[in-house]
A and B are shown apart, each in its own frame.
Chain A
């Protein structure tokens, strides 16, 4: 059933949206089924992914340095960074939840930045080994990315609930914007990366 030949090598283009495969033509590059624009690979995949990744990388620094929220209790303000929030959970004896936040807010974004960086290096230096494993890594990165939004949603809930002047109040900090931007940028970076580039350099 397999010919081990790529569609592109045979002059076919797969539509990104509906999956319809059609013969490449000089003009009229539109999908015959859904009418979408056809590209053999995602346009400028490498450059776009690299640009998004670099932006995410630089925003990752303020996201971890600045407080993500400030908790004011009876007039005393207490700013929390992402890591500070995790330590507060551990000190409160809530280790499982602390682990959950650690995975979603620290490990996933960090591994995503590293992972997408490695995927780009792989494509750039045309590493031939284990394309299947690299594709698997790409799939994991694309799948887990959205779960980093956990911290952002948690802040949105805390901000709306803990809003009692003079008693207790939670205010979102500047790191929340930076962190949200990191999540969105890395999600876009995973979306613009075309995994077929991992296979194009085979033989």
Chain B
């Protein structure tokens, strides 16, 4: 296989000369309008820094209670993990696995892979697994659903507000911070730039 300098639009396969947009610009496909590239300022450095911050926030967000209720004097706290455990106890295996993957495992993998890739690129260290990691990161991306979980917390809170006394715990603040960090992480990651560097670092 011989590589070429041309590029193709991933959604309509139009053959194109690569545009070199500067930071703040966007390159769109002239035929279907697909966003080809949107360069980010200091993409590698930012992804590196944000993934460290995200990894630290993963601990309080996962281990501390997010929200608690109080009914007739009995209090009950909920963590990310306790929902999965209760679903398993009720033999809802499929739902439990799905919730575990999309709210705990994939967000964690997402951050670990971002950290691995960006640290290698930042320090210019070649690694034969870089392409594999980047591929996994791209596949996992849409299955990490922290922002939807947050919406779930809000709707559950509204439903419970009429029957119980709600209180928000420290874990929730960590969770919201994690949400902001992962959102910034996703928007700072310039895939085109990352792949170009991975290609350059190939052993």
Contacts and interface: CB of A to CB of B under 8 A. Distances in A.
Interface of A: 1-8, 10, 12-14, 16-25, 28-36, 38, 73, 89, 92, 94, 97, 100-101, 104, 131-132, 135-136, 138-139, 146-147, 149-164, 167-168, 171-172, 176-177, 180-181, 184, 187, 195-196, 198-200
B50 to A, nearest CB: 21
24 contacts: A2-B31, A4-B31, A7-B15, A13-B1, A17-B131, A21-B3, A25-B2, A97-B154, A104-B151, A132-B31, A135-B32, A146-B145, A149-B145, A150-B155, A152-B99, A153-B83, A156-B87, A156-B95, A161-B77, A164-B72, A168-B71, A172-B95, A187-B142, A196-B11
B126 to A, nearest CB: 14
A32 B149 contact: no
Interface in B72-120: 72, 74, 76-79, 82-87, 90, 92, 94-95, 98-99, 102-103
Nearest to A85: B159
B69 interface: yes
A165 B83 CA distance: 17
B22 interface: no
B94 A8 contact: no
A119 to B, nearest CB: 13
A163 B76 contact: yes
Interface in B137-171: 138, 142-143, 145, 148-149, 151-156, 158-160, 162-164
Contacts, number: 234
B33 interface: yes
Contacts of B77: 161
B32 A131 contact: yes
Interface residues of B, number: 72
B95 A1 contact: no
Q: Which of A28, A29, A156, A158: most chain B Cβ within 10 A?
A: A156
Contacts of B84: 156
B83 A159 contact: yes
Interface stretch (B39-47, B55-63, B178-186, B192-200): B192-200
B32 A132 contact: yes
Given A18-B131, A154-B159, 20 more contacts: A5-B15, A12-B15, A21-B4, A28-B1, A73-B163, A104-B151, A132-B31, A135-B34, A138-B11, A146-B142, A149-B148, A154-B152, A156-B87, A156-B152, A159-B83, A160-B78, A171-B90, A195-B12, A195-B32, A199-B13
Contact of A7 (B13, B83, B155, B158): B13
Given A153-B152, A172-B90, A23 B2 contact: yes
Nearest to B199: A33
A177 B11 contact: no
A34 B198 contact: yes
Contact of B155 (A12, A101, A160, A196): A101
Contacts of B1: 13, 22-25, 28-32, 38
B135 A36 contact: yes
B7 interface: yes
B6 interface: yes
Nearest to B19: A1
